[in-house]
Amino acid sequence: MLRDVIWMGDSKRKLQEFPKDAQRSIGSALMLAQFGGTAEHVKPFKGVGSGVFEIVESHHTNAYRMIYAVQLGERIYVLHSFQKKSKTGIKTPKPEVDLVRRRYKEAQELAKNDNP
Q: What is the distance between the alpha carbons of residues 45 and 54, in angstroms, rounded to a whole number?
A: 5
Note the pLDDT tens digit of each residue in 88-101: 566 777 888 889 99
Beta strands in the chain (DSSP E): 5-7, 42-44, 52-59, 62-72, 75-84
Please report, for the chain, the start and end positions of each structural domain, with discontinuous segments joined by +. 5-112
Q: Looking at the domain covering 5-112, what would its CATH class be?
A: alpha beta
The amino acid sitting at 26 is I
Look up the pTM and report it.
0.89
Note the pLDDT tens digit of each residue in 31-64: 999 999 999 989 999 888 889 999 999 888 888 9
List residues bridging with 61 in a β-sheet. none
Q: Are 65 and 86 in contact (CB under 8 A)?
A: no
